[in-house]
Structure 1
Amino acid sequence: MASSSCTLWLALSDSELTVDDVGEHLGSVTDDLWVAAACYDRIVDDVSVQQALLNVGLDRTKQAFHRAQDALSHLSSSPSSESLDTTAVSLKQSDSCRLDPAVAYFHNLPGDAQLCRLHGLLLRRLDRLNTFTEMCQVAPEEGGDDADDEITEWEDDPWADQSTAMVSHDSSKSPQFPVSLSYFITQELIHTACQLTLHQYFRCLHILLERHRSVLWVHRFVIYDSIPGFANPLEYLEFLPRVKFDENMEEEAPWKDKDIGDASYVPLFEAATTSLGIPKEIESSALSLQTCNNLMTSEELSGWYTNRVDNIISSTGMIDTALAVIQHGASQGVPGLDELGEELSLLTRLVYDAPAGDSPNDWTLSSWKSMDSRTVIRAYLSHSTPETVAADMLHLVMPYLYVLESRAERAGNPNSQIYKDLLYDYVLTASLDVVAAIFEGSKPTMPSSQRIIKDDEDMARLALACLYGSASIDEWPTMSRIFECLPAWDLSKYEDLDGDIADTTIASLGDFVTPTIARPRCTASDLLMFFKPLPLSSLSRALDILDVHLESGEILSRWSVAASLSWFLQSMNDEAEQKAWANRMARRAGSADQLSTREDWEWLLKDMIKLSRRGNSDLRGAFGLLSQEEVTRTFFNGLLISGKFDIAKALLQSNRNISVLDTTAIEDICLTCVREFYDNASSGNYKVGDMKLAYECLDVPHISERIRKEKEFIEATSRLSSFNVMSRPGIPITPIEIRLTKDRLSLVSRVLSSNADAYKHTEVILELVAMLGFRGDVTAEVKTLAMLADTALQNEDFTRAYQASERMVNTVLVLRSSNANASKMQEASEVCWVACFQLGRQPEFDDVEKKLSLLGRSLELCPPEQLHDVLTAWRRLEKEDIERRETRLSQRRRAGGAALPRKRTPAADHHEFSLRSRLADFHMPSPPLLSTPDAAALASRTFKTVAARFPFSRGRPRSHPDDETSRSGSRPRDGDDVSSQATRVFSKGIGWLLGAGEEDL
């Protein structure tokens, strides 16, 4: 029966074993050692089955254990010498045994030794089973509270399978443990402790540590290091090490071994094990783990806490968890953690309290420690908005600054300026909207404890530096907000108020803020050093100046010519800069179509005058160096440049501010604008574009001689453009080129040379000359007639050439009979005699009477040194005329007719009289003198000298006089070389004499 039970027992697997099987199969076996060994050999995960096995095994081994206890108790109470000697002799037989009565006893009874050893092993396993059972009672349900919440949240999930949901819900309520019973019984306790720690079963860990302190104490730091970094510190703070205050050493943990029952088995168990020759059990797998048998010093504990914090932050980034650990260590007396706690507390504010951006930074303790104070402040406020920056300063930055001050005091280097230096440095580099928010959180009306900037004078200095150091030109409402937060001091009780210091400082700032190569831009921090030395009275004066500049800045911004506040510093003593900006204001406002009505322009004028006047004090605006008249002139100029001529006329009639300008000033302004329109015009046609504006602008003032002349000049420009005058081949002449032409008569020469029929319209050309600015200028008229005659001559239109010459002569004669200027008279006479001489000696002109008349005018008007040359030509022409007449007379006589006497014309009589008078005036011999060869040669040489003075002008090419016969039928003789050369020279025109350049002729 016993053998069958043993066989059935061995056939059962651990998973099939039940409590009934234990009693049924082992109860019938009489061999206690076999039963005890069978109970020890079986390790199952079922608590009840394992309990039954241990109970059966202990029941079979307790008799032997009690026998050994009784025997050893009796032996120790009355030992006999004989028994001791016998025991000693028996012990000698085994070198491995000690002189121990228990060992000797088990040596003689190996069966009882086996049973006692099994009894001890079963008791130790029972102790672990009880520990396991107790831990299971406090173990959380499956998944913990978080899992329950998750399941509850998804209980009404319509897509979830109902059966699956129910199973999950039921299983979540069953106890769950990270290790099985078999694992817990067979493995070292340190592994189980680490498993419980990793799974955050801290209540179970507490039971394990209390029941097995002696085994786990040396591995306590292994257990501590196994706690996850993300675990809630409140659940495990009781396990962390602490300092024993009076000894400056680690305090032992308050764990204690519970009474597990009969403790007498331990010496008997060890004696039985020794007697059987079984080596002592060593937890070999735990040898590689860190052990700490001795208590740590406080410095070592401080290092452990620091490393613990670094690991938590580096692995999880949960700085609040690390802070809780440090705070606990500091509360437990661990030294050196206060400063680290401060750092973590400040870092916690940065990570959890500061506004976060779209991509938050992964802050670590090392990165925090690497930042300087200014970087920390900017990190705190990097994502603050103008709406939140004041609150963030109070709750984040100011506590940080206080910590820095306290650290400096603890280090023995108190520095009350830390707060101001760091705070002011941020304010000086912040944007204006942020600065405005900070100033609104620092108003003097607020309690000092609630203010960010607590010093009123520092507020004024910071405001001056920030505003004048800003390059913004469109944040005037924000700047006004800053100014409205500044303190207003009652200076009536202060003596020796001196505003000169502020004025001097502001004036010196003008040069300082001017950009240079070394310093392209002046920052607010640079400006602060100028305002730091200013006393209260000077600060108040500087704020008054700032107020004026802000008002001026708003006005300039309103009219689209905004300037930064630094510009007001630069232009305070620069009249030219103020005038340029006023001109820019008047012009840009009109060009931007901001001003469409008369009322708008009047508003602009009032603002410009306001900028030039002084207010209630002696402070000046943006145009303070300009007079009202100069500002009004600038305004009126901008009004005209914008082309609003109707509004300009209306303002001249009604606006009293314009009345400061007299008629001459208005004319000057109009003419200036007209010339600007004119110079910018791309076309000379005064019906379109800028030229039209220039012409219409002349209707604004009352008509005057200057206005009339300018109108005529514009009309002349338009006419010149209609003649298609070119400045270069293919490029029409522009209005600016016409204005810049020094000799405007050369423009007429271009018209005549570029238009074949222009010379035929004498009155048109003369009117053009008059409109070019030569109205009433006889000399210009003579030169123009000379050009017309020359052009007609080039075109072989001898009739118009003679008419122009005759009109020119009459004009010169009238001029000579008047009291005209001698130089002008001489210039007109010079042009006239040359033109007459040119036409009078022209071979192709066959009207001898007219030619003699022209040469006679040349003799009358030419200078004495040219008289011989002109007279030679006249005599030659007269001789040719006589020969031609004689030929005709002989022909008539042969035909039988009587020759009629030659009639003298009045013109001939006049020429002869003039010639004789000229010869008499210069005491020259009569004309026959020139008939001698010597005289003819002298005249020839003289004429060559005169001819050399006239350059060649454009005209059709002439044939050489030697290659053709003159119209009189005779070829040139010995003096004709001079005549033919003069013909070629004069046929080139007289442009040089009129002032035209050689390239224009």
Structure 2
Amino acid sequence: SGIDINSLQTYSPHDFLPIFKAKNKNQLQKIIHSLGIHLNAAKILSRYNNPIPLRWFLQSAKNYTMQKQLCIQLSRRTNDFEVDGEHFENESEWIQLLEDMKILQGDGRGVLGEISIEGIYENFISGLLKFRLAREILLPTDESHPLKMDITEKLVINASREFFDNATSGNMNHAEIELIEATHALSEKKICYQPGVPIHPLHIRISPNRLDFIDRLLSTYEDAYRDPNSIIKLATKLGYRNDKVAEVKVMAMLADAALRDNNFVTAYDTCVDLVNVIKAMASANKGDNENTELALANDAAWRICYEVAKQENYRDLEQQMTLMGYALSLCPSDQIADLLNLWRKLDEEQRSARTLKAKTNLPEKSVSEKVKPAVERVESVLMTPLFQGDRLKNLVSSWLGSGF
């Protein structure tokens, strides 16, 4: 109508008379109806010690930001004042607050009409510290759920993050939020703690080996290994942030999952990446021969490298030899003999393949340019770490001397 809302407080009843005279009957009924909604809203808000001047209702009409601010104030302020001499912690009072917020929303026609009903629940839950009550409200057993399950899950995650971000103490670090997110991710994948028992944060917290959940996920979803970043990110949220041993173990699980899917390319690439992580660990711990973490990482690495290399269906001898070189350089001394048996078998197959290729008269490099025999390449490149100590000198020399 061209009237400055901010100036309404200076108007007298006589000033309003010509304004109302210019309105027809329908317009006047609409104004009276809106006034009734505003007065009822003001009554509700004053009940929660949140008085609002009537002009605010005109200013906030169709204004999402202003309505959102009021919604947040309403859900938060209940923790800061007392009602009838008692703190606002009575469950019936919380339930009444939710009902009043829904009245203010008014199916999109109230003073909080710009806020969706999902938004009302989100703001309410973000201020509610009674989690059992929140569960009863969001997941009632005697009536239909007020929100879809995916919206409910997202709402709870956001509320949990809100509690953490606004905590007065930072002692509960980010790992607590990550644990909730990890539980959410595992639950979405229908990973159970036990058959028929949904997983809860407590199950993860008390688990002696949280990587078991990663293994269970990879076993349940055969193609989950194709998104390694998500799997590694999940491991960090399970409490293994900056844990290189856990990272190596997870990568070994990914390689094993690829192997079960007969994806030798991914399995090989993952093993190479895994060995690079171990190289970085070894470099950072140079001179520490008794490093327990490095020993644990080496154990997981050599086993998966050996497991991939020995597969009968693997048709890339060069890659198999590379993996065996890794396995030999990382395994404990008492495992070397068994691994060298496979190494010798692969080397013989590689020599046979070269002989067969020569017989087919395919173009080859000159003798001086031919690839060195596998044993020589391992001695000069892959097996170098083995000769840095005395544990293999005699054993490997005997193999070389016997024509291996």
* TM-score between the two structures when normalised by the length of structure 1: 0.25
The structural deviation recorded for 1:741 is: 2.2
Distance 1:592 1:833, change over 3 A: same
User: Corresponding residue for 1:859?
Assistant: 328
User: Corresponding residue for 2:92?
Assistant: 592
For residues 726 and 710 of structure 1, the distance between their equivalents in structure 2, rounded to whole angstroms, comes to 20
Equivalent residue letter for 2:90:
G
User: Corresponding residue for 1:787?
Assistant: 253
The structural deviation recorded for 1:867 is: 1.5
Percent identity between matched residues is: 25
Distance 1:835 1:930, change over 3 A: same
CA contact (8 A) 1:685 1:718 kept: no
Equivalent residue letter for 1:778:
K
For residues 905 and 688 of structure 1, the distance between their equivalents in structure 2, rounded to whole angstroms, comes to 59
Matched, 1:836 2:297: no
CA contact (8 A) 1:725 1:733 kept: yes
Deviation digits for residues 53-94 of structure 1 (CA, Å, limit 9, x no counterpart): xxxxxxxxxxxxxxxxxxxxxxxxxxxxxxxxxxxxxxxxxx
User: Corresponding residue for 1:752?
Assistant: 218
Matched, 1:737 2:206: no
The structural deviation recorded for 1:721 is: 1.5
For residues 879 and 918 of structure 1, the distance between their equivalents in structure 2, rounded to whole angstroms, comes to 22
After the TM superposition, which residues 756-905 of structure 1 pair with which residues of structure 2 at under 5 Å, given as runs? 756-819=222-285, 822-892=291-361, 901-903=369-371
User: Corresponding residue for 2:192?
Assistant: 726
The structural deviation recorded for 1:880 is: 1.5
For residues 848 and 797 of structure 1, the distance between their equivalents in structure 2, rounded to whole angstroms, comes to 15
Distance 1:857 1:703, change over 3 A: farther
Q: Classify the secondary structure of the residue corresponding to 1:846.
A: coil
CA contact (8 A) 2:251 2:270 kept: yes
After the TM superposition, which residues 705-720 of structure 1 pair with which residues of structure 2 at under 5 Å, given as runs? 706-720=172-186
Contiguous gaps of at least 5 residues in structure 1: 1-554, 560-585, 598-641, 649-672, 937-1001
For residues 167 and 375 of structure 2, the distance between their equivalents in structure 1, rounded to whole angstroms, comes to 52
Q: Classify the secondary structure of the residue corresponding to 1:698.
A: helix
* TM-score between the two structures when normalised by the length of structure 2: 0.59
Matched, 1:918 2:394: no
For residues 816 and 675 of structure 1, the distance between their equivalents in structure 2, rounded to whole angstroms, comes to 49
The structural deviation recorded for 1:931 is: 7.6
User: Corresponding residue for 2:35?
Assistant: none
Q: Classify the secondary structure of the residue corresponding to 1:592.
A: helix
CA contact (8 A) 2:358 2:364 kept: no
The structural deviation recorded for 1:916 is: 4.7
Contiguous gaps of at least 5 residues in structure 2: 1-81, 98-122, 140-148
User: Corresponding residue for 2:9?
Assistant: none
Distance 1:799 1:644, change over 3 A: closer
For residues 675 and 932 of structure 1, the distance between their equivalents in structure 2, rounded to whole angstroms, comes to 74
For residues 691 and 729 of structure 1, the distance between their equivalents in structure 2, rounded to whole angstroms, comes to 25
The structural deviation recorded for 1:804 is: 1.0
Q: Classify the secondary structure of the residue corresponding to 1:925.
A: helix
CA contact (8 A) 2:179 2:201 kept: no
Deviation digits for residues 769-815 of structure 1 (CA, Å, limit 9, x no counterpart): 11111111101100000000001001101111111111110001100
After the TM superposition, which residues 560-579 of structure 1 pair with which residues of structure 2 at under 5 Å, given as runs? none
CA contact (8 A) 1:726 1:733 kept: yes
CA contact (8 A) 1:853 1:908 kept: no
The structural deviation recorded for 1:558 is: 6.6
RMSD, aligned CA: 4.2
User: Corresponding residue for 1:427?
Assistant: none
Q: Classify the secondary structure of the residue corresponding to 1:743.
A: coil
The structural deviation recorded for 1:688 is: 4.9
For residues 908 and 733 of structure 1, the distance between their equivalents in structure 2, rounded to whole angstroms, comes to 53
Distance 1:932 1:705, change over 3 A: farther
After the TM superposition, which residues 492-511 of structure 1 pair with which residues of structure 2 at under 5 Å, given as runs? none
**RCO higher in structure (CA 8 A, sep ≥6):** 2
The structural deviation recorded for 1:729 is: 4.1
CA contact (8 A) 1:677 1:694 kept: no
CA contact (8 A) 1:833 1:858 kept: yes
After the TM superposition, which residues 21-36 of structure 1 pair with which residues of structure 2 at under 5 Å, given as runs? none
User: Corresponding residue for 1:118?
Assistant: none
CA contact (8 A) 1:857 1:911 kept: no
For residues 92 and 132 of structure 2, the distance between their equivalents in structure 1, rounded to whole angstroms, comes to 22
Equivalent residue letter for 1:775:
R
User: Corresponding residue for 2:164?
Assistant: 698
